[in-house]
A = this chain, B = another copy of it.
């Protein structure tokens, strides 16, 4: 927009015949073209500066136009999201193996930073189940300081990737890999909550461990915990269904009573706040029973109260009497420093695109916002955060208007930290486990499997590989295996491209018409040469003249390997006394081929139809075969060898 304005102004300046472009500068006067150029340059510089500022600090775009109406909408949406963010944060802190308050530590800084740097209004940055799961093993093995350092370093990496415009790497994570990964993560998380749901003991951070642990301790299942956990799940599922009662707009041919409308909206609010409701109910129940001298549930227990300490992220730490310096911590984090930033970017950009309503997403800006959010979060002991799909959806559905909604979410979370941490003692573990497991049910995508089975079976291979490796080996490895498998399939396609081959009779000459369906790259070069030579050997009728025509209409690009192999192919066919023609090859491809061997020039043909190409064939062939017979010595004995070879 602004750049367009600038262009128009420039144009006007030049159109003006170098009239004075400064309208306030007295009456119209001639200006030198130099003066005009200086004006345009100064205008351009200020435009560019403003444009960059607007792009890199999007708050400068919407804040000046902020209104009370927008404020009210943002306030409502922000508080609604906060009602989800608090219980989810607590639950995901538990998934990460951290104390519950870490979920709230992680819940406000990301939101605040996003208000300034975020380029979409809906995204809500905070802890997510997958981030929590990927942090877990470090927390269990090395303590919470590792999670905080991981947040800081991930933030740096995300921001750097964003500034270097390297966000495109997530394009290499395909939909089947994402689905496999997400489903495996959901199952791993759900299984890790089995012990909480049934009041069992033991550590379980992997799928198989969790299942084995559950069955080993199945005799120790606690009735009260189980009852509370299962009722939490049932309550959450029921409350989720309530959202359908909301009445949106005016359905045609129906009058809706005011009561029906209010009831619907209330039920919808209950549905949105269902996580907070079950936690509130669980805490209340535990507290009432506690006051009356009962403690039937496993409770969260004593935790640190109030706000987190503000300070640098821990660059060295002591855990279980072992001291770790920065280098040791970083090398312990290892592959997570790649995996966590990648997954963060993937989640966040995917959500941004889903809610961008047709706008192009500024991936660079989103990555900068996310990176800074993590970096800032690590100063208040946050675990790694990213865009949360569920909370972003709540935000959008609650009618948020600008990123300012995040301020209110963050403030609500901080309020909970200031006032409520002492009540966290009473949160029953079974309630949190039930809450987490319910959320995980909706992350598993059964549907895609049957859909892929029907439409694109080969995509089940990367999905299955990702899913199984994530579940059995670990999330990072599973993702890497999945991407690798997917790229192998892609490379296989470029090594074995579709090549249409048919024999046609043109002007009494048998012509093998070869039409590659797409550009050829080096892995396919030898394959194409082999199938053509094999086909010529098998189907050529020696009593009749034959020719090979390669139709280059779909060739947009070839590399030097393909060019060289085409040259070798022409030599192969010369031995078979079959002339080759390169028909309709585009300019740049012709150029590449002639660069490798200028002697290929006579092979090119550009006529509109096949018969025109072959008009001069007869004479040319007779001449060629005379030359050939001399060189083609002693192939008779070996003739039968290899001729049956169809690659």
Contacts and interface: CB of A to CB of B under 8 A. Distances in A.
Interface stretch (A148-156, A225-233, A519-527): A519-527
Given A399-B634, A533-B360, A643-B359, A455 B560 contact: yes
A311 interface: no
B596 A451 contact: yes
Given A363-B647, A365-B642, A451-B595, A171 B632 contact: no
B54 A640 contact: yes
A46 interface: no
A534 B573 CA distance: 48
Contact of A638 (B54, B121, B168): B121
A493 interface: yes
A12 B1 CA distance: 79
A638 B576 contact: no
A534 B635 contact: no
Contacts of A78: none
A171 B525 contact: yes
B521 A358 contact: no
A587 to B, nearest CB: 13
B171 A595 contact: no
A572 B353 CA distance: 9
Contact of A51 (B353, B455, B644): B644
A365 B529 CA distance: 18
Contacts of A633: 399
A402 B638 contact: yes
A423 interface: no
28 contacts: A1-B643, A54-B640, A65-B637, A121-B637, A168-B527, A171-B495, A171-B525, A171-B527, A174-B523, A249-B630, A353-B568, A357-B572, A357-B635, A358-B573, A358-B576, A359-B537, A359-B641, A359-B643, A361-B642, A361-B645, A363-B645, A402-B638, A451-B596, A455-B560, A486-B522, A487-B491, A490-B494, A517-B556
Interface of A: 1, 3, 51, 54-55, 58, 61-62, 65, 70, 73, 119-121, 168, 171-172, 174-176, 249, 353-354, 356-365, 399-402, 451-452, 454-456, 458-459, 486-487, 490-491, 493-495, 498, 517-519, 521-527, 529-530, 533-534, 536-537, 554, 556-557, 559-561, 563-564, 568, 571-576, 591-592, 594-596, 630, 632-635, 637-647
A518 B554 contact: yes
Nearest to A364: B645
A629 to B, nearest CB: 12
B557 A493 contact: yes
Contacts of A637: 62, 65, 70, 121, 401-402
The A interface is mostly helix, strand or loop, or mixed, namely: helix
Given A360-B642, A517-B556, 14 more contacts: A58-B641, A62-B641, A121-B638, A249-B630, A356-B572, A357-B572, A359-B635, A359-B641, A359-B642, A363-B645, A490-B523, A493-B521, A498-B557, A518-B518
A120 B568 CA distance: 17
A175 B561 contact: yes
Contacts of A556: 498, 517-518
A561 B362 contact: no
A560 B176 contact: yes
Nearest to A3: B644
A548 to B, nearest CB: 11
A279 to B, nearest CB: 30
A120 B176 contact: no
A169 to B, nearest CB: 9
A570 to B, nearest CB: 10
B595 A456 contact: yes
Q: Which of A356, A456, A632 has the most CB of B within 10 A?
A: A456
Nearest to A1: B640
Contact of A455 (B454, B554, B596, B644): B596
A541 to B, nearest CB: 12
Contacts of A356: 572, 642
Contact of A358 (B119, B249, B459, B574): B574
Given A55-B644, A518-B518, A525-B171, A563 B595 contact: no
Contacts of A498: 556-557
Contacts of A362: 641-642, 644-645
B119 A641 contact: yes
Contacts of A400: 634
Closest CB pairs A-B (n = 8): A455-B595, A358-B575, A174-B522, A175-B561, A362-B642, A360-B534, A362-B645, A358-B576
A522 B175 contact: yes
Contacts of A630: 249
A404 to B, nearest CB: 10
Nearest to A457: B560
A61 B641 contact: yes
Nearest to A558: B456
A410 to B, nearest CB: 20
A3 B640 CA distance: 12
A533 to B, nearest CB: 5
Contacts of A647: 168, 360, 363
Q: Which of A55, A357, A493 has the most CB of B within 10 A?
A: A357
A494 B495 contact: no
Given A495-B172, A559-B459, A357 B575 contact: yes
